[in-house]
Amino acid sequence: MTRLASEKTAAADAATRTTAGICIDSLGHAFPTKDGGAMLALDNVSFEVPNGQFLAVVGASGCGKTTILNMAAGLIRPVSGSVKVGGEEVVKPLRDTGYMFARDGLLPWRSALKNVEVGLEHRGVPKEQRRTRALHMLDVVGLSGFGDSYPAQLSQGMRQRVAIARTLAINPGTLLMDEPFAALDAQTKIALQGEFLKIWEKDRKTVMFVTHDLAEAVSMADRVLVLTSRPGRIHADITIDLPRPRDPGEIRFDKHYLHLLDGVWQSLKEAEARAG
């Protein structure tokens, strides 16, 4: 089923497994409620994202998708179970993980270029190198010439591009993405999906991508995980065997794509119906 298993020898496979992408093991989480009780958000969720796989996670609002990402990012600790990234248990934000949100979170007092540089600054990369890398990343996302602009001077789509450049600048081995294109209009969204896929298809990082947009999930990912409503459990695990490179703008009329999309949609409906 996985691309890795079929392509690699047993020895290489073992080596990959020790530096496995993301490994979620019997994750459980609850949040304290106002009246002193606890609200179960995640219930015994286990799955793995092999190195180099693009996984999309879908599920009803409030089913715990962001919570899983936050744990993988090391921003919160799970109540039970564990999250490993690259074979390492995550207890704090890892230097090799990039995390993108729907909101760009750009620092308003920094120019676009300085915003792209910020992650490299945190890693102590020398100034010259930082600048060269940031300029290159701005170019990759189609914003060369906007380095000196401040976030307030950029459109929302441009700001999200800067955020993508900022995340990619640190060249993370693992990418966590929480509805990164949700705040964009339809055209910009498809354009950015395409650009992101193009960049991703070059070096295939491990990606965990949360979205409410099923078309986005199916057109971009290798595999879609469907979660049940609160508390989140895994309802379905669907492989998306569409050829690459893909163009999210073109694929919309592909028959097999439409078939897969329908499957994910049915599955999500079941998952939501089953909650309660």
Partner 1 sequence: MSMAMDMTVSNNRDTGVVSVKDKLAQQITRERSTRRRRTINVAIMRFALLAALLVPWQLGVEYGLINPLFFSSPLAIFNFLVRELGGGTIWPHVLVTVREALLGFLIGAAAGVAAGILRMQFPLFGDVTNPFLTILNVLPRVALAPMFVLWFGIGEGSKIALSVSLVFFILMLSTEAGIKSLDRELIVTQRALGATRTQLFWKVMLPGAVPAMFSGMRLGVVYSLLAVVVGEMIASQMGLGQRIAFYAASFQGDGLLGTILILAAIGLLFNVVVVNAEAKLMHWRLHDDD
Ligand X SMILES: Nc1ncnc2c1ncn2[C@@H]1O[C@H](COP(=O)(O)OP(=O)(O)OP(=O)(O)O)[C@@H](O)[C@H]1O
Which chain residues interact with ligand X by CB under 6 A? 31, 41, 59, 61-67, 230
SS in 3 state form for 120-185?
Answer: HHHCCCCHHHHHHHHHHHHHHCCCCCCCCCCHHHCCHHHHHHHHHHHHHHCCCCEEEEECCCCCCC
Rounded to a whole number of angstroms, the minimum distance from the CB of residue 151 to partner 1 is 8
Choose the stretch contacting partner 1; rule: CB under 8 A; options: 12-20, 37-45, 150-158, 264-272. 150-158
Query: Strand 54-59 and strand 223-227: pairing?
Result: parallel
Helices 156-169, 186-203: inter-axial angle, 10-degree rounding: 10
- Minimum distance between the CB of residue 27 and ligand X, rounded to whole angstroms? 12
Interface residue with partner 1, options 12, 87, 105, 249 (CB under 8 A): 105
3-state secondary structure of 186: helix
Q: Tokens at residue 113, please?
A: 């270029």
For residue 103, the partner it binds in partner 1, Mg ion, ligand X, none, with Cβ less than 5 to 8 A by kind, is: partner 1
> Using the rule CB under 5 A, is 229 a contact of Mg ion?
no
Are the beta carbons of 85 and 97 closer than 8 angstroms? yes
105 versus 249: smaller Cβ distance to partner 1 = 105
Complex with Mg ion: residue 182 or 199, whichever CB lies closer: 182
Our CB check for ligand X shows the closer of 70 and 219 to be 70
Tell me: does residue 182 bind partner 1 (CB under 8 A): no
Q: Could you say which of 52, 119, 147, 231 contacts partner 1 (CB under 8 A)?
A: 119
Residues binding partner 1: what is the number (CB under 8 A)?
27
47 binds partner 1 (CB under 8 A): no
Q: Does 59 bind partner 1 (CB under 8 A)?
A: no
List % helix, strand, coil for the chain (3-state, nearest 5). 40, 25, 35
Instruction: Classify 189 as helix, strand or coil.
Output: helix
Contact 99, 73 (CB under 8 A): yes
Cβ atoms within 10 Å of 276's Cβ, excluding its own: 7
Residues that bind partner 1 (CB under 8 A): 73, 75, 93-95, 97-99, 101, 103, 105, 107-111, 118-119, 121-123, 150, 152-153, 166-167, 170
Residues that bind Mg ion (CB under 5 A): 66
